[in-house]
Structure 1
């Protein structure tokens, strides 16, 4: 698939060179069958006239001729590089690299530049054809796909049917149903965050681990049997913190651990729930950056995080310098806590903390929750607040 090879220059070029002629071949096949398609001479010329006015369909026709008769499309690639040193230090820049330069080669070049050797590198590529400079190529081919889908719908309608005889495809949103309008399939509406890769400064790949929660009735019934009656809070994010803490304590004492879970809100309406997984600080920063992207796409204006956390008081030297040398997870004197914290776009924030004591067999006991005046979750909200500020500037 074109999307799957986006970060691989050779693979992307190969898939694009296969896709564009195939898009054009659909119209050729229709024309070859015109004798058996009802009223073809009436409605097909109307489609041709509409295509002549379409920048995208004009590009498909010309590109097919270039690929089959001349050479590859002349692709250009821009590259946005984001360096995240820590929660508070994040630098963005745009660089131009040779189109055939692989993402790993780009990262290698960045690592040997003036970039400090710590933190996380995010590389976002953008492919365009020199003959269509105003369109990103995934968006352009998705638009072309919608045109082809529309003409296939019209051809089927001529026979009095509205579905294709072919079975549904492996991609969930590509079905045998046909569309009468120029509408892109949902799986082709991609966020920029899906066209990027993440690396440590040592060159290791960091994977995004953000999982959607499926409200499966069977799973909910099983949870009720295990934890008893859990009262899910139904107000706004700030007001829901005590209720979520009560749920989290019940689950923590039953299971001995608690996953990191994010609840996104628009007003008092929940719009998304995600589970976050991370093995180190880089993966954690990446998970919350990805969560910030979801905040924008869902237009969320509030968020609640439930998390099991390591806690430690700063040393006297750290207090003097107002910096942290050793994160709590690396400290010998660390303590364990269960936190529920919330923030809203209008600036409100609250956190409850329940300290965890472990029994001889590792069983967990949660203390009474206390409100934290300096929320431990403040850093993890930094990408969210940055996203809200950016949305405000853009009037979203």
Structure 2
């Protein structure tokens, strides 16, 4: 059986896969204006061709008029889908889209003090020149971390960056093709994988992890306190069978972390305590949830406080890219049983408290719907290095108006509109 025979809508499905590959080609040439324009034009036309190909096969698809009409009705009320159709008509019949190059500048002073501005600059203007323009205004911040993000927007859709806008259209079309497969009683098909390797026949009804709309290579970071740039480095790794076997032998069977993040937090704390007792330390971990399913996880590394501010804002970028609606953050932290103020009346963080601070394992969980949980397990070390766990402290609420344990999640809560 050929791939064409095994897919009930091979023509439309192949065009959708073409769109996935074209999206990545466009993203790869983000900083090359003419190549970016060329790939965008191809992608916009390719996305429209998905529906054209599907319509040609309507006679062989049960219930086509019903579910396709429902898709059309929803698309007409969706600003991104309307933009996609109008853009295709403009590209084919009139001219290129009117693209504008912007630099989104984000300043982070601490967990509370932040700011963001969108400034228009020539597409290939060097970052040093952008920074010089920003700091020519003496009123701009001189401390904290500055992040410059390059973005392309269409004049007809000024509030949406192009990578994000086209990705959402792709997801809508992928959902449509999945509906067509179900109508033909075929959940899967034999269309082969492509290049890049993430382009497969699998149908996504939510953003794909590979379609990152906030990639690190489009951002540059400057530590204003140190007067130097911050390089963002990320490593991808998969759990091999050999490592998984060693992990099970050392820590026992892995826990299932799918579920409501607030309920999962207790299971993660229990497992983390076992690992801490065994290893005498625990790395920080963050899980991203979408509708109670873990869609990604990372192990952040913090070298200093400004680096922590930057990392958690990049974590918020990842939340946006994944369309995540829940997170869990596990880390070792400093803990104090009371509050102390400095000479200016500001709260002294536990990390700066000296000898009256304690170590703890901390699990923070939050959802976009407004659920919060903080689980804290203080611990001490004997003179021989043995870990002694104390009674767990649980807080199932959060006062987001005052400084507290949820400050580190504030960039995520702000992205959700909850901060």
Question: Which TM-score band (shorter chain)?
Answer: 0.5 to 0.7
Deviation, 1:87, is 0.6
- What SS does structure 1 have at the residue aligned with 2:222? strand
Deviation, 1:310, is 2.7
Q: Quote the Cα distance in structure 2 between the aligned partners of 1:98 and 1:306.
A: 41
Does residue 120 (structure 1) correspond to residue 148 (structure 2)? The answer is: no
Name the structure 1 match of 2:221. 198
The match for 1:107 among 126, 131, 137 is: 131
1:260–1:275 contact (8 Å) kept in structure 2: yes
Q: Which has the larger radius of gyration?
A: 1
Does residue 84 (structure 1) correspond to residue 108 (structure 2)? The answer is: yes
The match for 2:362 among 333, 339, 344 is: 339
Deviation, 1:365, is 0.3
Superimposed CA distance per residue, residues 213-261 of structure 1 (whole angstroms, 9 cap, x where no aligned partner): 7454443322111123454466532233332222112111222221111
Q: 1:343 to 1:358 in 2, by over 3 A?
A: farther
- Aligned Cα RMSD in Å? 4.6
Name the structure 2 match of 1:394. none
Name the structure 1 match of 2:270. 246
Superimposed CA distance per residue, residues 56-95 of structure 1 (whole angstroms, 9 cap, x where no aligned partner): 586489989xxxxxxxx99742222111111111111122
- What SS does structure 1 have at the residue aligned with 2:228? coil
Q: Quote the Cα distance in structure 2 between the aligned partners of 1:87 and 1:313.
A: 21
The match for 1:371 among 381, 393, 397 is: 393
Name whichever of 305-314 and 88-97 sits farther off: 305-314
Gaps of 5+ in 1: 24-52, 65-72, 146-161, 180-184, 392-396
The equivalences for 1:1-396 within 5 A come to: 3-4=27-28, 6=30, 12-13=32-33, 15-16=35-36, 55-56=87-88, 59=91, 76-113=100-137, 114-127=139-152, 169=195, 171-173=196-198, 189-192=211-214, 194=216, 195-201=218-224, 202-208=226-232, 214=238, 216-229=240-253, 231-232=255-256, 235-266=259-290, 268-312=292-336, 316-318=340-342, 321-324=345-348, 327-333=349-355, 334-344=357-367, 345-357=369-381, 359-360=383-384, 363-371=385-393, 377-389=405-417
- TM-score, normalized by length of structure 2? 0.60
- What SS does structure 1 have at the residue aligned with 2:299? strand
1:108–1:203 contact (8 Å) kept in structure 2: no
Deviation, 1:357, is 1.6
Q: Quote the Cα distance in structure 2 between the aligned partners of 1:132 and 1:120.
A: 29
2:198–2:210 contact (8 Å) kept in structure 1: no
2:289–2:296 contact (8 Å) kept in structure 1: yes
- What SS does structure 1 have at the residue aligned with 2:342? helix
Deviation, 1:389, is 1.6
2:107–2:115 contact (8 Å) kept in structure 1: yes
- What SS does structure 2 have at the residue aligned with 1:318? coil
Q: 1:108 to 1:80 in 2, by over 3 A?
A: same
Q: Quote the Cα distance in structure 1 between the aligned partners of 2:157 and 2:294.
A: 40
Name whichever of 310-319 and 256-265 sits farther off: 310-319
2:153–2:162 contact (8 Å) kept in structure 1: yes
Name the structure 1 match of 2:179. none
- TM-score, normalized by length of structure 1? 0.63
Gaps of 5+ in 2: 1-24, 44-84, 171-189, 399-403
Deviation, 1:330, is 4.7
1:206–1:282 contact (8 Å) kept in structure 2: no
Q: 1:61 to 1:115 in 2, by over 3 A?
A: same
1:209–1:278 contact (8 Å) kept in structure 2: no
Q: 1:211 to 1:314 in 2, by over 3 A?
A: farther
1:262–1:276 contact (8 Å) kept in structure 2: yes
How many residues in Structure 1 have an aligned counterpart in Structure 2? Answer: 326
Q: 1:58 to 1:240 in 2, by over 3 A?
A: closer
- What SS does structure 2 have at the residue aligned with 1:258? coil
Q: Quote the Cα distance in structure 2 between the aligned partners of 1:200 and 1:320.
A: 25
